[in-house]
Amino acid sequence: MDGLELLPWMLQTDWREDRRPLVIVDLGAWPEAQVLEPLPPVPVLAVGPAGHAQAARADVLVEEAISLGVLRSKIKQRPGASAVLVQLLRAIEGLPAEQALKLESFAYGMLQAGAEHKDWLAGRTQLHQQPPGALRLSRQDGTLSLMLDRAWARNAIDADMRDALFEAFSLAVIDPDITRVKLRTSGRCFSVGADLAEFGTVGDPVRAHEIRSLTLPAYPMAKRAKIYDVHVQGGCVGSGLELAAFAGRLTASEDAWFQLPETGMGILPGFGGCVSVPQRIGRQRAAALMLSGKWIGARTALGWGLVDAIVNEPAIDEGGADLGGG
Strands across the sheet with 23-26, in order? 23-26, 44-47, 60-61
**pLDDT value, residue 319:** 52
**pLDDT value, residue 15:** 60
pLDDT tens per residue across all 326 residues of the chain: 444 445 444 545 566 667 789 999 999 989 999 888 888 999 999 999 999 999 999 999 999 999 999 999 999 999 999 999 999 999 999 999 999 999 999 999 999 999 999 999 999 887 778 899 999 999 999 999 999 999 999 999 999 999 999 999 999 999 999 999 999 999 999 999 999 888 877 778 899 999 999 999 999 999 999 999 999 999 999 999 999 999 999 999 999 999 999 999 999 999 999 999 999 999 999 999 999 999 999 999 999 999 999 998 776 765 545 555 64
**pLDDT value, residue 4:** 41
CB 55 within 8 A of CB 78: no
**How far is the CA of 111 from the CAs of 108, 132, 259, in angstroms?**
5, 27, 20
**pLDDT value, residue 7:** 46
Nearest to 60 by CA among 31, 22, 96: 22
Bridge-based pairing state of the strands 235-237 and 180-185: unpaired
**How far is the CA of 269 from the CAs of 77, 86, 102, 175, 184, in angstroms?**
17, 12, 13, 29, 21
**pLDDT value, residue 232:** 97
| Stated pTM of the model | 0.93
- CA atoms of 113 and 200, how far apart (whole Å): 10
Cα 322–278–28 angle (5° rounding)? Answer: 110
